[in-house]
Structure 1
Amino acid sequence: MDARTAGSRDGYNEDLLHKTILLGDSGVGKTSLLVQFDQGKFIPGSFSATVGIGFTVMLLGDSGVGKTCFLVQFKDGAFLSGTFIATVGIDFRNKVVTVDDVKVKLQIWDTAGQERFRSVTHAYYRDAQALLLLYDITSKMSFDNIRAWLSEIHEYAQKDVVIMLLGNKEYGVPFMETSAKTGMNVELAFLAVAKELKERAVQQPDEPRFQIHDYIESQKKKSSCCAFI
Protein backbone atom coordinates (compact mmCIF):
# COMPACT_ATOMS: atom_id res chain seq x y z
CA MET A 1 0.00 0.00 0.00
CA ASP A 2 1.56 3.33 -1.01
CA ALA A 3 1.39 6.66 0.82
CA ARG A 4 -1.48 7.94 -1.32
CA THR A 5 -3.63 4.87 -0.66
CA ALA A 6 -2.85 4.91 3.06
CA GLY A 7 -3.67 8.61 3.31
CA SER A 8 -6.99 8.10 1.52
CA ARG A 9 -7.86 5.27 3.88
CA ASP A 10 -7.57 7.71 6.80
CA GLY A 11 -9.82 10.21 5.05
CA TYR A 12 -6.89 12.37 4.03
CA ASN A 13 -5.64 12.96 0.50
CA GLU A 14 -2.28 14.69 0.20
CA ASP A 15 -3.07 15.68 -3.40
CA LEU A 16 -5.79 18.03 -2.12
CA LEU A 17 -3.53 19.99 0.22
CA HIS A 18 -3.36 23.69 -0.72
CA LYS A 19 -2.33 26.99 0.83
CA THR A 20 -4.62 30.02 0.95
CA ILE A 21 -3.41 33.53 1.82
CA LEU A 22 -5.78 36.21 3.13
CA LEU A 23 -4.95 39.68 1.77
CA GLY A 24 -6.47 43.12 2.27
CA ASP A 25 -6.15 46.35 4.23
CA SER A 26 -5.77 46.29 7.99
CA GLY A 27 -9.14 46.20 9.72
CA VAL A 28 -11.19 44.66 6.89
CA GLY A 29 -11.76 41.49 8.93
CA LYS A 30 -9.20 38.95 7.75
CA THR A 31 -8.58 37.63 11.26
CA SER A 32 -12.31 37.42 12.06
CA LEU A 33 -12.87 35.54 8.83
CA LEU A 34 -10.12 33.05 9.68
CA VAL A 35 -11.44 32.51 13.22
CA GLN A 36 -14.94 31.93 11.85
CA PHE A 37 -13.65 29.34 9.40
CA ASP A 38 -11.27 27.65 11.86
CA GLN A 39 -13.50 27.65 14.96
CA GLY A 40 -16.98 28.27 13.55
CA LYS A 41 -17.62 31.31 15.70
CA PHE A 42 -17.39 35.08 15.69
CA ILE A 43 -15.49 36.75 18.50
CA PRO A 44 -16.87 40.30 18.97
CA GLY A 45 -14.71 43.21 20.03
CA SER A 46 -11.61 44.92 18.74
CA PHE A 47 -8.77 42.87 17.35
CA SER A 48 -5.18 43.95 17.51
CA ALA A 49 -3.77 44.33 14.02
CA THR A 50 -1.97 41.24 12.79
CA VAL A 51 1.71 41.50 13.66
CA GLY A 52 3.80 42.76 10.76
CA ILE A 53 6.95 40.73 11.45
CA GLY A 54 6.32 37.02 11.36
CA PHE A 55 8.12 33.77 10.73
CA THR A 56 7.29 30.14 10.14
CA VAL A 57 8.67 27.52 12.52
CA MET A 58 8.36 23.82 11.71
CA LEU A 59 8.41 20.96 14.24
CA LEU A 60 10.06 17.80 12.95
CA GLY A 61 10.83 14.37 14.35
CA ASP A 62 9.59 10.81 14.51
CA SER A 63 5.96 10.05 15.28
CA GLY A 64 5.36 9.91 19.02
CA VAL A 65 8.33 12.03 20.18
CA GLY A 66 5.99 14.69 21.60
CA LYS A 67 5.81 17.40 18.94
CA THR A 68 2.12 18.12 19.53
CA CYS A 69 2.51 18.15 23.33
CA PHE A 70 5.50 20.47 22.92
CA LEU A 71 3.44 22.86 20.82
CA VAL A 72 0.44 22.76 23.17
CA GLN A 73 2.73 23.54 26.11
CA PHE A 74 4.15 26.57 24.31
CA LYS A 75 0.83 27.82 22.94
CA ASP A 76 -1.43 27.20 25.95
CA GLY A 77 0.94 26.55 28.84
CA ALA A 78 -0.63 23.17 29.48
CA PHE A 79 0.35 19.55 29.29
CA LEU A 80 -2.26 17.23 27.87
CA SER A 81 -1.73 13.78 29.30
CA GLY A 82 -3.08 10.64 27.75
CA THR A 83 -2.83 9.07 24.32
CA PHE A 84 -2.67 11.37 21.30
CA ILE A 85 -3.89 10.56 17.85
CA ALA A 86 -0.94 10.96 15.49
CA THR A 87 -0.92 14.23 13.57
CA VAL A 88 -2.17 13.82 10.00
CA GLY A 89 -0.19 15.81 7.44
CA ILE A 90 0.23 19.37 8.76
CA ASP A 91 -1.39 21.28 11.62
CA PHE A 92 -0.49 24.77 12.75
CA ARG A 93 -0.82 27.25 15.60
CA ASN A 94 0.02 30.95 15.88
CA LYS A 95 1.57 32.73 18.83
CA VAL A 96 2.96 36.24 19.24
CA VAL A 97 6.09 36.62 21.37
CA THR A 98 8.00 39.71 22.41
CA VAL A 99 11.65 39.90 21.38
CA ASP A 100 13.56 43.03 22.41
CA ASP A 101 10.25 44.93 22.73
CA VAL A 102 9.29 43.87 19.21
CA LYS A 103 6.19 41.75 18.60
CA VAL A 104 7.07 38.68 16.57
CA LYS A 105 4.41 36.33 15.25
CA LEU A 106 5.37 32.70 14.97
CA GLN A 107 3.31 30.40 12.79
CA ILE A 108 4.24 26.96 14.08
CA TRP A 109 3.67 23.93 11.89
CA ASP A 110 3.19 20.60 13.66
CA THR A 111 4.08 17.85 11.20
CA ALA A 112 3.29 14.17 10.95
CA GLY A 113 6.26 11.92 11.69
CA GLN A 114 4.99 8.88 9.83
CA GLU A 115 6.77 7.92 6.64
CA ARG A 116 3.60 8.00 4.55
CA PHE A 117 3.19 11.75 5.10
CA ARG A 118 6.78 12.72 4.29
CA SER A 119 5.93 13.85 0.74
CA VAL A 120 3.45 16.30 2.28
CA THR A 121 5.88 17.75 4.80
CA HIS A 122 8.67 17.98 2.23
CA ALA A 123 6.56 20.48 0.28
CA TYR A 124 6.58 22.81 3.30
CA TYR A 125 10.28 22.73 4.15
CA ARG A 126 11.15 25.59 1.78
CA ASP A 127 8.63 27.93 3.43
CA ALA A 128 10.02 27.48 6.95
CA GLN A 129 12.53 29.93 8.39
CA ALA A 130 13.27 27.75 11.41
CA LEU A 131 13.12 24.04 12.21
CA LEU A 132 12.86 22.50 15.66
CA LEU A 133 13.96 18.88 15.47
CA LEU A 134 12.72 16.76 18.38
CA TYR A 135 13.50 13.28 19.61
CA ASP A 136 12.32 11.29 22.63
CA ILE A 137 15.12 10.85 25.18
CA THR A 138 13.58 7.49 26.13
CA SER A 139 13.60 6.23 22.54
CA LYS A 140 16.96 5.29 21.05
CA MET A 141 15.34 4.80 17.65
CA SER A 142 14.08 8.38 17.54
CA PHE A 143 17.60 9.52 18.44
CA ASP A 144 19.21 7.33 15.78
CA ASN A 145 16.82 8.78 13.19
CA ILE A 146 18.08 12.34 13.78
CA ARG A 147 20.73 11.87 11.10
CA ALA A 148 18.07 10.92 8.54
CA TRP A 149 15.97 13.96 9.49
CA LEU A 150 18.97 16.24 9.05
CA SER A 151 19.59 14.73 5.62
CA GLU A 152 16.03 15.61 4.62
CA ILE A 153 16.46 19.11 6.01
CA HIS A 154 19.61 19.67 3.97
CA GLU A 155 17.84 18.40 0.86
CA TYR A 156 14.53 20.24 1.09
CA ALA A 157 14.92 23.26 3.41
CA GLN A 158 16.45 26.67 2.82
CA LYS A 159 20.22 26.72 3.11
CA ASP A 160 20.18 29.38 5.85
CA VAL A 161 17.28 27.87 7.83
CA VAL A 162 17.63 28.09 11.62
CA ILE A 163 17.88 24.61 13.13
CA MET A 164 17.58 23.67 16.80
CA LEU A 165 17.83 20.13 18.14
CA LEU A 166 15.79 19.40 21.24
CA GLY A 167 17.10 16.36 23.07
CA ASN A 168 20.79 16.07 22.17
CA LYS A 169 23.77 18.37 21.63
CA GLU A 170 25.42 16.67 18.68
CA TYR A 171 25.28 17.41 14.95
CA GLY A 172 26.52 21.01 15.24
CA VAL A 173 23.20 22.71 16.00
CA PRO A 174 21.99 24.54 19.14
CA PHE A 175 20.70 22.12 21.76
CA MET A 176 18.42 22.17 24.79
CA GLU A 177 16.73 19.51 26.85
CA THR A 178 13.02 20.27 27.09
CA SER A 179 9.92 18.88 28.75
CA ALA A 180 6.45 19.28 27.31
CA LYS A 181 5.10 18.02 30.64
CA THR A 182 6.77 20.53 32.99
CA GLY A 183 7.35 23.25 30.41
CA MET A 184 11.11 23.26 31.00
CA ASN A 185 12.83 25.30 28.27
CA VAL A 186 9.82 25.07 25.93
CA GLU A 187 9.25 28.82 25.76
CA LEU A 188 12.98 29.56 25.68
CA ALA A 189 13.42 27.28 22.65
CA PHE A 190 10.87 29.29 20.68
CA LEU A 191 12.14 32.64 21.99
CA ALA A 192 15.71 31.78 20.98
CA VAL A 193 14.56 30.93 17.47
CA ALA A 194 12.35 34.03 17.30
CA LYS A 195 15.25 36.25 18.36
CA GLU A 196 17.53 34.69 15.74
CA LEU A 197 14.93 35.30 13.01
CA LYS A 198 14.15 38.82 14.19
CA GLU A 199 17.86 39.73 14.26
CA ARG A 200 18.29 38.39 10.73
CA ALA A 201 15.37 40.51 9.52
CA VAL A 202 16.68 43.80 10.93
CA GLN A 203 20.43 43.25 10.85
CA GLN A 204 22.52 45.72 8.87
CA PRO A 205 25.37 44.41 6.66
CA ASP A 206 28.08 45.93 8.86
CA GLU A 207 26.66 44.66 12.15
CA PRO A 208 27.99 41.52 13.87
CA ARG A 209 25.81 38.46 13.41
CA PHE A 210 23.61 37.35 16.27
CA GLN A 211 24.94 34.23 17.97
CA ILE A 212 22.15 31.99 19.15
CA HIS A 213 24.57 29.86 21.21
CA ASP A 214 25.63 32.94 23.21
CA TYR A 215 22.01 33.92 23.74
CA ILE A 216 21.16 30.49 25.12
CA GLU A 217 24.15 30.62 27.45
CA SER A 218 23.14 34.07 28.72
CA GLN A 219 19.65 32.81 29.50
CA LYS A 220 21.19 29.83 31.26
CA LYS A 221 23.00 32.17 33.63
CA LYS A 222 19.85 34.22 34.29
CA SER A 223 17.71 31.30 35.37
CA SER A 224 18.83 28.35 37.44
CA CYS A 225 15.73 26.42 36.31
CA CYS A 226 16.97 26.11 32.73
CA ALA A 227 18.73 22.85 32.04
CA PHE A 228 21.31 22.94 29.27
CA ILE A 229 24.08 20.66 28.23
Structure 2
Amino acid sequence: MSNSSKRRQSSSRVRCENVEQTQIQSRIVSPQRVLKVVFLGNSGVGKSSFIQHCCSGHFSGTMTATVGIDYQMKTVTLGSTTIVLQLWDTAGQERFRSITQQYYRKADGILTMYDITHSPSFTAVRGWMDAVQENKCEGTVLMLLGNKLDLADGHSRKVSTKEGQRLAEQHQAVFYECSAKTGHNMEELMTQLAGMLAAQHDRQCEDSLLLTEDTTKTSCCR
Protein backbone atom coordinates (compact mmCIF):
# COMPACT_ATOMS: atom_id res chain seq x y z
CA MET A 1 0.00 0.00 0.00
CA SER A 2 1.34 3.43 -0.95
CA ASN A 3 1.97 6.19 1.57
CA SER A 4 -0.76 8.32 -0.04
CA SER A 5 -3.33 5.53 0.44
CA LYS A 6 -2.34 5.16 4.07
CA ARG A 7 -2.72 8.92 4.59
CA ARG A 8 -6.20 8.86 2.99
CA GLN A 9 -7.31 5.99 5.24
CA SER A 10 -5.90 7.73 8.32
CA SER A 11 -7.63 10.97 7.34
CA SER A 12 -10.89 9.09 6.79
CA ARG A 13 -10.68 7.48 10.25
CA VAL A 14 -10.06 10.91 11.86
CA ARG A 15 -13.08 12.38 10.08
CA CYS A 16 -15.28 9.47 11.21
CA GLU A 17 -14.05 9.80 14.79
CA ASN A 18 -14.73 13.55 14.70
CA VAL A 19 -18.24 12.97 13.37
CA GLU A 20 -18.96 10.36 16.06
CA GLN A 21 -17.58 12.64 18.78
CA THR A 22 -19.69 15.55 17.51
CA GLN A 23 -22.80 13.36 17.51
CA ILE A 24 -22.10 12.20 21.06
CA GLN A 25 -21.52 15.79 22.25
CA SER A 26 -24.70 16.88 20.49
CA ARG A 27 -26.69 14.22 22.32
CA ILE A 28 -25.21 15.31 25.62
CA VAL A 29 -25.64 19.07 25.15
CA SER A 30 -28.90 19.20 23.19
CA PRO A 31 -32.02 19.27 25.39
CA GLN A 32 -34.45 16.39 25.08
CA ARG A 33 -37.40 18.66 25.80
CA VAL A 34 -38.12 22.38 25.50
CA LEU A 35 -41.24 23.42 27.40
CA LYS A 36 -43.03 26.74 27.71
CA VAL A 37 -43.75 28.15 31.18
CA VAL A 38 -45.63 31.43 31.64
CA PHE A 39 -45.58 33.61 34.76
CA LEU A 40 -48.74 35.56 35.60
CA GLY A 41 -49.60 38.06 38.33
CA ASN A 42 -49.88 41.73 39.08
CA SER A 43 -47.06 44.15 38.38
CA GLY A 44 -44.61 44.34 41.28
CA VAL A 45 -45.14 40.86 42.76
CA GLY A 46 -41.65 39.77 41.68
CA LYS A 47 -42.07 37.75 38.48
CA SER A 48 -39.10 39.35 36.69
CA SER A 49 -36.87 39.09 39.76
CA PHE A 50 -37.77 35.43 40.22
CA ILE A 51 -36.96 34.57 36.60
CA GLN A 52 -33.74 36.58 36.66
CA HIS A 53 -32.52 34.91 39.86
CA CYS A 54 -33.64 31.48 38.67
CA CYS A 55 -31.74 31.74 35.36
CA SER A 56 -28.66 33.72 36.43
CA GLY A 57 -28.27 32.67 40.05
CA HIS A 58 -28.24 36.30 41.17
CA PHE A 59 -30.88 38.66 42.51
CA SER A 60 -31.14 42.15 41.07
CA GLY A 61 -32.78 44.88 43.13
CA THR A 62 -33.08 47.22 40.17
CA MET A 63 -35.61 45.41 37.97
CA THR A 64 -37.96 47.61 35.93
CA ALA A 65 -41.59 46.82 35.11
CA THR A 66 -41.98 44.39 32.23
CA VAL A 67 -43.54 45.86 29.11
CA GLY A 68 -45.34 43.25 27.03
CA ILE A 69 -43.61 39.85 26.91
CA ASP A 70 -40.07 38.60 27.50
CA TYR A 71 -38.50 35.21 28.25
CA GLN A 72 -35.34 33.52 29.51
CA MET A 73 -34.14 29.92 29.42
CA LYS A 74 -33.66 27.64 32.43
CA THR A 75 -32.03 24.20 32.09
CA VAL A 76 -33.08 21.49 34.54
CA THR A 77 -31.53 18.01 34.67
CA LEU A 78 -33.67 15.13 35.90
CA GLY A 79 -31.53 11.99 36.03
CA SER A 80 -30.32 11.49 32.46
CA THR A 81 -32.93 13.82 30.99
CA THR A 82 -32.19 17.46 30.21
CA ILE A 83 -35.18 19.80 30.10
CA VAL A 84 -35.09 23.40 28.96
CA LEU A 85 -37.81 25.63 30.35
CA GLN A 86 -38.72 28.80 28.47
CA LEU A 87 -39.73 31.11 31.32
CA TRP A 88 -42.05 33.75 29.87
CA ASP A 89 -42.26 36.98 31.86
CA THR A 90 -45.54 38.80 31.28
CA ALA A 91 -46.60 42.34 32.12
CA GLY A 92 -49.03 42.54 35.03
CA GLN A 93 -50.66 45.82 34.01
CA GLU A 94 -54.31 45.69 32.97
CA ARG A 95 -53.60 47.06 29.48
CA PHE A 96 -51.48 44.00 28.66
CA ARG A 97 -54.06 41.37 29.73
CA SER A 98 -55.20 40.58 26.17
CA ILE A 99 -51.59 40.09 25.02
CA THR A 100 -50.85 37.87 28.02
CA GLN A 101 -53.78 35.55 27.29
CA GLN A 102 -52.39 34.76 23.84
CA TYR A 103 -49.23 33.40 25.44
CA TYR A 104 -50.62 31.27 28.24
CA ARG A 105 -53.26 29.54 26.15
CA LYS A 106 -50.60 27.23 24.69
CA ALA A 107 -48.32 27.06 27.75
CA ASP A 108 -47.12 23.75 29.17
CA GLY A 109 -46.93 25.26 32.64
CA ILE A 110 -48.40 28.39 34.26
CA LEU A 111 -47.07 29.97 37.46
CA THR A 112 -49.35 32.54 39.04
CA MET A 113 -47.67 34.78 41.60
CA TYR A 114 -48.70 37.16 44.36
CA ASP A 115 -46.88 39.17 47.01
CA ILE A 116 -47.50 37.84 50.54
CA THR A 117 -46.92 41.36 51.92
CA HIS A 118 -49.53 42.94 49.64
CA SER A 119 -53.08 41.61 50.03
CA PRO A 120 -54.46 43.31 46.86
CA SER A 121 -52.06 41.21 44.79
CA PHE A 122 -53.57 38.08 46.34
CA THR A 123 -57.08 39.31 45.54
CA ALA A 124 -55.96 39.93 41.97
CA VAL A 125 -54.33 36.52 41.59
CA ARG A 126 -57.74 34.93 42.06
CA GLY A 127 -58.80 36.66 38.87
CA TRP A 128 -55.67 35.49 37.09
CA MET A 129 -56.32 31.89 38.12
CA ASP A 130 -59.98 32.04 37.08
CA ALA A 131 -58.89 33.30 33.66
CA VAL A 132 -56.31 30.53 33.41
CA GLN A 133 -58.91 27.85 34.12
CA GLU A 134 -61.05 29.21 31.29
CA ASN A 135 -58.27 29.49 28.70
CA LYS A 136 -55.49 27.01 29.48
CA CYS A 137 -54.94 23.87 27.44
CA GLU A 138 -55.83 20.45 28.83
CA GLY A 139 -52.94 19.02 30.85
CA THR A 140 -51.29 22.36 31.60
CA VAL A 141 -49.46 22.27 34.94
CA LEU A 142 -50.57 25.07 37.28
CA MET A 143 -48.66 26.49 40.26
CA LEU A 144 -49.48 29.24 42.76
CA LEU A 145 -46.50 31.08 44.23
CA GLY A 146 -46.54 33.40 47.23
CA ASN A 147 -43.43 35.52 46.74
CA LYS A 148 -41.33 37.76 49.06
CA LEU A 149 -41.12 35.24 51.88
CA ASP A 150 -37.98 37.07 53.02
CA LEU A 151 -40.27 39.92 54.18
CA ALA A 152 -42.70 37.68 56.09
CA ASP A 153 -41.27 38.38 59.56
CA GLY A 154 -43.02 40.76 61.91
CA HIS A 155 -46.12 42.53 60.66
CA SER A 156 -45.17 42.60 56.98
CA ARG A 157 -47.08 39.44 56.03
CA LYS A 158 -50.60 40.22 54.84
CA VAL A 159 -51.55 36.87 53.29
CA SER A 160 -51.35 33.73 55.42
CA THR A 161 -49.96 30.42 54.21
CA LYS A 162 -53.36 28.77 54.75
CA GLU A 163 -55.06 31.32 52.47
CA GLY A 164 -52.60 30.50 49.72
CA GLN A 165 -53.02 26.76 50.23
CA ARG A 166 -56.83 27.04 50.09
CA LEU A 167 -56.73 28.98 46.83
CA ALA A 168 -54.31 26.48 45.30
CA GLU A 169 -56.55 23.56 46.31
CA GLN A 170 -59.58 25.24 44.72
CA HIS A 171 -57.76 25.39 41.39
CA GLN A 172 -55.87 22.06 41.75
CA ALA A 173 -52.58 23.95 41.68
CA VAL A 174 -49.26 23.17 43.36
CA PHE A 175 -48.55 25.74 46.08
CA TYR A 176 -45.24 27.20 47.23
CA GLU A 177 -44.15 30.22 49.23
CA CYS A 178 -40.81 31.46 47.96
CA SER A 179 -38.39 34.37 47.80
CA ALA A 180 -37.02 35.75 44.55
CA LYS A 181 -34.44 37.61 46.66
CA THR A 182 -32.94 34.78 48.74
CA GLY A 183 -33.85 31.95 46.36
CA HIS A 184 -35.80 30.13 49.09
CA ASN A 185 -37.76 27.18 47.60
CA MET A 186 -36.78 28.26 44.08
CA GLU A 187 -34.83 25.16 43.04
CA GLU A 188 -37.31 22.85 44.75
CA LEU A 189 -40.34 24.23 42.94
CA MET A 190 -38.58 24.43 39.57
CA THR A 191 -37.41 20.81 39.88
CA GLN A 192 -40.94 19.67 40.76
CA LEU A 193 -42.34 21.73 37.89
CA ALA A 194 -39.87 20.20 35.41
CA GLY A 195 -40.74 16.69 36.62
CA MET A 196 -44.48 17.31 36.30
CA LEU A 197 -44.07 18.84 32.84
CA ALA A 198 -41.90 15.93 31.67
CA ALA A 199 -44.44 13.39 32.95
CA GLN A 200 -47.30 15.27 31.27
CA HIS A 201 -45.31 15.48 28.03
CA ASP A 202 -44.71 11.72 28.12
CA ARG A 203 -48.42 11.04 28.65
CA GLN A 204 -49.34 13.26 25.71
CA CYS A 205 -46.81 11.48 23.48
CA GLU A 206 -48.18 8.07 24.54
CA ASP A 207 -51.77 9.19 23.88
CA SER A 208 -50.76 10.54 20.47
CA LEU A 209 -49.01 7.26 19.64
CA LEU A 210 -52.02 5.18 20.69
CA LEU A 211 -54.32 7.41 18.64
CA THR A 212 -52.07 6.98 15.60
CA GLU A 213 -52.02 3.19 16.05
CA ASP A 214 -55.82 3.07 16.39
CA THR A 215 -56.24 5.17 13.24
CA THR A 216 -53.85 2.91 11.33
CA LYS A 217 -55.68 -0.25 12.43
CA THR A 218 -59.05 1.25 11.45
CA SER A 219 -57.69 2.16 8.01
CA CYS A 220 -56.31 -1.35 7.51
CA CYS A 221 -59.63 -2.95 8.44
CA ARG A 222 -61.36 -0.90 5.82
Deviations, residues 161-186 of structure 1 (Å, cap 9, x unaligned)? 11111112122121111001110011
1:169 aligns with 2:149: no
Structure 2 partner of 1:67? 47
- Are the equivalent residues in 1 in contact too, given 2:139–2:200 (CA < 8 A)? no
Alpha-carbon distance in 2 for matches of 1:49, 1:97: 12
SS of match in other structure, 1:193: helix
Q: State which of 122, 139, 147 in structure 2 corresponds to 1:160.
A: 139
Q: Larger Rg: 1 or 2?
A: 2
Alpha-carbon distance in 1 for matches of 2:67, 2:30: 28
> How many aligned positions are there?
159
SS of match in other structure, 1:51: coil
- Are the equivalent residues in 1 in contact too, given 2:32–2:81 (CA < 8 A)? no
Deviates more, 1:162-171 or 1:66-75: 162-171
Provide the identity percentage: 40
Structure 1 partner of 2:98? 119
Structure 1 partner of 2:118? 139
Alpha-carbon distance in 2 for matches of 1:183, 1:85: 19
Alpha-carbon distance in 2 for matches of 1:68, 1:181: 11
Unaligned runs of 5+ in 1: 1-45, 206-229
Alpha-carbon distance in 2 for matches of 1:202, 1:159: 14
**How far did residue 67 of structure 1 move?**
0.2
TM-score by length of structure 2 reads 0.67
**How far did residue 202 of structure 1 move?**
2.6
1:100 aligns with 2:79: yes
**How far did residue 73 of structure 1 move?**
1.0
- Are the equivalent residues in 1 in contact too, given 2:53–2:180 (CA < 8 A)? yes
The 5 Å alignment of 1:43-82 reads 50-82=30-62
**How far did residue 49 of structure 1 move?**
5.0
Structure that is richer in helix per residue: 2
Alpha-carbon distance in 2 for matches of 1:109, 1:184: 21
SS of match in other structure, 1:180: coil
Alpha-carbon distance in 1 for matches of 2:34, 2:166: 29
Deviations, residues 89-146 of structure 1 (Å, cap 9, x unaligned)? 1100012110132100101100000000111111111220101111001100001112
Structure 2 partner of 1:198? 198
Alpha-carbon distance in 2 for matches of 1:188, 1:101: 18
Alpha-carbon distance in 2 for matches of 1:72, 1:176: 18
Paired amino acid for 2:175: F
After TM superposition, what 4+ stretches of structure 1 lie above 3 angstroms from structure 2?
Answer: 46-50
- RMSD over aligned CA atoms reads 1.8
Alpha-carbon distance in 1 for matches of 2:187, 2:129: 23
Unaligned runs of 5+ in 2: 1-24, 147-163, 208-222
